[in-house]
Structure 1
Amino acid sequence: MSHVSEIPAASFRDAAAHFAARLSLETDCADVAAAMRAGEVDFVLLHVVGSPQAYARRHVPGAIHLRHADITVERMAQWSAETLFVVYCAGPHCNGADRAALKLARLGRPVKLMIGGVTGWADEGLPFAEGSEPGALRELEEAA
């Protein structure tokens, strides 16, 4: 018996509940890019780590730079309570997005983590924006 099958697979009900829960907490770079390309941006994308200079060098188009340390009740009041936030950080080696997601959840805000972060975005071959502003989504449209 292999290590793969040594522990039996979960029931289909348990597996469905598990994967539905994961998808309620996470999204991926390809789905974020597809939503942006389709003009279906029903979320706020937050770049939650790094200095303003690092953000200016490279960030996902449309992302707002908001470090997890700056996520406060007062700062988040500019968005409605129903606003879905999608957070990302440098990549799988960074827990800044997890920290931001936790803060948002504790503030009662809907939140998902964009798995992969900057590393995943680059791995997908998706374009980055530069500068101190979120950048136009046209970078994605031109890459389509």
Structure 2
Amino acid sequence: MTSLVSEVPAAPSDVALQHFSRRLTFETDCSDVHASQQAGQVDFVLLDVRGPLAYERGHVPGAVNLPTRSITAQALSVYPPDTLFVVYCAGPHCNGANKAAVRLATLGYPVKEMIGGIMGWLDEGFRLTGSVERVTDTAIGCDC
């Protein structure tokens, strides 16, 4: 009897290697961002693409707020063309980071998504910077 898991066979190892290796070129995770910050190896711009109010309530330390709708060539003109941006939004239930990544890539910038967003950051036990003492789901918000 075949399980629901193996009903569709796994990809051959060489195909799986290509797939998962490619994903790492598009994504990073909260733990890697945090570890890079702690080690002082921040060779990227961490971009919170939520609205200003959501950012003010709580954001990842070191993040710059630039809502997705505000990502323009003019807004990015202060950054060299090879600047790596790491974008995040509220969490996996939101596609704001994906939309921001599309805009950045369209403008020619290298970009990765911090998977999990704010929710992932909190799930890892990391603290936010902002005006809210106790972050709740409604305080995190998106407004992207």
Question: Where on the TM-score scale, by shorter chain, does this alignment land: which range?
Answer: 0.7 to 0.9
Question: Alignment partner of 1:80: what SS?
Answer: coil
Q: Distance in 2 between matches of 1:18 and 1:54?
A: 34
Q: What residue in structure 2 maps to residue 95 of structure 1?
A: 95
1:31 deviates by 0.5
- Report the equivalent of 1:104: 104
Q: Distance in 2 between matches of 1:69 and 1:99?
A: 9
Corresponding residue SS for 1:4: coil
The structure with the greater share of residues assigned to helix is: 1
Q: Distance in 1 between matches of 2:94 and 2:6?
A: 31
The alignment partner of 2:6 has SS state of helix
Q: Secondary structure at the match of 1:6?
A: coil
- Percent identity of equivalent pairs: 57
Structure 1 counterpart of 2:18? 17
Unaligned runs of 5+ residues in structure 2 are 132-144
Using the size of structure 1 for normalisation, the TM-score is: 0.87
Q: Distance in 1 between matches of 2:11 and 2:53?
A: 46
SS at match of 2:97: helix
- Deviation, 1:74, is 1.2
TM-score, length basis structure 2: 0.87
**Length, aligned pairs only:** 130
In the TM superposition, 1:1-144 aligns within 5 A as: 1-50=2-51, 52-130=52-130
Runs of at least 5 residues in structure 1 that lack an aligned partner in the other structure: 132-144
